[in-house]
Amino acid sequence: MQTTTYTVNGMTCGHCVSAVSNEVGRIPGVSDVQVDLASGSVTVTSEQSVDDAAVRAAVDEAGYQLVG
């Protein structure tokens, strides 16, 4: 198991959290996504290393932006 924490800009409410969780959770191999609305942190748990580009694309698809 591997855990990576990203920061996402623009989430303002629980719906935003759901949108990001759902999109990132669809990435193959991802077993858990924890989002903290206040800080914008998105913690992704996966069996193997997840491609950052896939996370960035999923966040973008949800309508938000990965920081960094």
Give the C-alpha distances (Å, rounded to integers) separating 48 from 5, 12, 27.
14, 30, 12
In angstroms, give the least distance from the CB of 54 to a second copy: 23
Question: What pairs with residue 33 in β-bridges?
Answer: 44
User: Of these, 6, 8, 19, 35, which contacts a second copy (CB under 8 A)?
Assistant: 19
Question: What pairs with residue 3 in β-bridges?
Answer: 45
58 binds a second copy (CB under 8 A): no
20 binds a second copy (CB under 8 A): no
Applying CB under 8 A, which residues contact a second copy? 12-16, 18-19, 63
